Chain A
């Protein structure tokens, strides 16, 4: 398992032997099989893989919402944790923005703070400087249904960032956006990440997105979900949009696509055999 260079501080997150099986009426489904991941402090790690590869299961476990099979070890900040103990410890942003329609943009953004028990006035004070940074200045008093998809997603991201935790999980946050908005949001996210020094684990379908954003790319396999490839991305930051066509980028993309391709063929054959 590749990882960041050893340092005095323990890695932010260390997963070993993480498996998850679901029993259903159609038989047993192995969503994750002996997954091992190590994420350093301040690292931006992206996870890419075919749909149904257990990425979301992995996130649910890390957010404390699901429990892995026995035998898994989760070290969070160097301390062993059971999955439910991670509830409230990790900032988790699911695929859908899940904004609450009865709350204004501000009140959606400060929801996690209020859940923590921060008084509204104090929470608003903390949120205020972030609106312009998240491109939401002037929209504080709007309701979610008055916003475009890109803006709603930024509200959801702002909510996630206001929930200041050592680890941030982003599950395909730009999946539903059009290509142009998406590439703008990617560059903007990198700026925000660099300014706030957060550790991010980011799920995506999109190989280019995974390489463009990540310090490292993890390629996952479908059923059972395993880590197939860990690829360091040695591209310099800040990364301009033009980087997408550089030879280094293309080369990385070829490696990731090759790994995914191999997997797709394998899962195709599995289907054909059964």
Chain B
């Protein structure tokens, strides 16, 4: 575990060194690819700006993720419990996902205004779908013999739901949450492109217009780091708390 982590850090550092060396040796033009040191210098010089961007984008991601996961859980549960509801609404969910989220972006900004909530909405929208699908599928896969056993104990629908369906579906929900948090981050970044003043997405856009290549790379690295950290956090939660597998 520890050793694996150390070697991963070493590999990352090695990559930075390789990057630096390649740029210097092959004398790559800075407007094509800045040196690693230039990117790190840019980061060091703009910690304040980047810090504010991180706080903003991370808030959008986490709030959007939480709302999306809650929506997904509620709808997924409802679809699992009611076949009729699933037949009625599930196709709508699929269709909604077939439309690229960018197409909705303008609409969301017009409805919710150009502040944090429009980004939250887009992050939530992206998170909700996988969570809905996996909650529903996980709960539908519940072992009918275990349902029968709990019913023979006198369990009603509510007890069955909380004591059996929810824990039974948790491994599959956890998988969706890992996907959802990554999608939520994308949603937040893309959401900022529709206009804002703070956030990593908007920093990326500004850097692109100013052809500030070190800044573009700074933001890319920061976004990557956030993505990895969020994913690892959920992976750790899953390993610690949701380690059982669905038995067939």
Which residues of A approach B to under 8 Å, CB–CB?
60, 63-65, 87-90, 92, 94, 96, 98, 100-102, 111-112, 114-116, 145, 163
Contact = CB atoms under 8 A, between A and B. Distances in A.
A115 B247 contact: no
B148 A115 contact: no
B149 A87 contact: no
A contact patch SS: loop
6 contacts: A60-B148, A63-B152, A65-B152, A98-B143, A100-B146, A114-B163
A65 B153 contact: no
A98 B152 CA distance: 13
Interface residues of B, number: 19
B145 A98 contact: yes
B163 A87 contact: no
Contact of A115 (B145, B154, B170): B154
Interface in B144-166: 145-146, 148-155, 159, 163-164
B244 A101 contact: yes
B227 interface: no
B148 A94 contact: yes
A45 to B, nearest CB: 19
B195 interface: no
Contact of B152 (A92, A96, A100, A116): A92
A98 B149 contact: yes
A111 B164 CA distance: 11
Which residue of A64, A92, A96, A101 has the most chain B CB atoms within 10 A of its CB atom?
A101
Contacts of B151: 64-65, 87
B163 A64 contact: no
Contacts of A60: 148
A76 B70 CA distance: 45
